[in-house]
Amino acid sequence: MIMQYKSTFLALTLALISVTTLRAQDIYSTTGGEFIFGLNESSFSEEFLAQYPGASLSGGNLRFTMFFHYTHYLNVDFTNNIGMLTGVGIRNVGMITDEVLPQTVSLSGQDVAYTNYNIVRRQYLLGVPIGFKVGSFNDHVFFYGGLEYELAFHYKEKVWTGSFDRSGKKTKSSEWFGDQTEVLLPSAFGGVQFPGGVNVRFKYYLSDFLNPDYTVEANNQDGGLFDISDLSRFSSSQVFFVSLSWQVNTRDIRSGKFMENMQARLE
């Protein structure tokens, strides 16, 4: 499945290069930021629940982030109505789960006590999108959609022990280029831009966010303390988000037109 996404992404990239060399009415760059409202659909494996019948998972928590998100896009307009975009973006993407997990490892079926946890897992991602857009570019109104591949380069985990409302003990850990997620995460996105550069976007990650092959040896020792950083208990961890963003033409920034427009709106 991942190879299929890679092939589609490569085909879109080659298409962008080809049509750009043929004819483009206008080529320009835009830059901006993003407010992300993220959700996830996650579940534990049947094997884990059979081993620990008191365990449970709720992934319906909304995760809001506004730092650090940065995008810089190259726009290729073939006409006033049809174009493509690519570029680079950095995003803080993750998931929040409420989990009931065993306190000790049970390999022989003995009963164990359980503890409530609120867990935040996030990655900083460096992405390259390829997309098409259709609308009225002179009026700065258009729809767009495409695919993106993102490189996961900094993982962070925050854990509140003993409660779901974050009133318990807090611990955190982080790691550069950790194996808790896949290195490359494919996604599909779509959105609409309104006058003034305001964007509403939906993005869905096409593979699980967490890596179920990330295991901890301590969880293979019967009677030992259960290590919650072990991710083999997850059978799915789909992440998606809606974002509110803004894009500013870099020409307007250099010429001062952007500030003039902002002052005019405030008057």
Pairwise pLDDT comparison (266 vs 85), residue with the higher score: 85
Q: Sketch the domain layout of the chain as residue ranges.
A: 2-266
Question: End-to-end distance of the chain based on CA atoms, in angstroms?
Answer: 53
pLDDT at 8: 65
- Whether 142 shows a pLDDT value over 60: the answer reads yes
57, 119 in Cβ contact below 8 A?
Answer: no
Confidence label for 262 from pLDDT (cuts 50, 70 and 90): very low
Lowest mean pLDDT among 19-23, 26-30, 76-80, 141-145: 19-23
Report the chain's mean pLDDT, rounded to a whole number: 90
pLDDT tens for residues 31-78? 999 999 999 999 999 999 999 999 999 988 999 999 999 999 999 999
Average pLDDT rounded to a whole number, residues 227-233: 98
- Whether 265 shows a pLDDT value over 90: the answer reads no
Average pLDDT rounded to a whole number, residues 82-104: 97
- Whether 165 shows a pLDDT value over 70: the answer reads yes
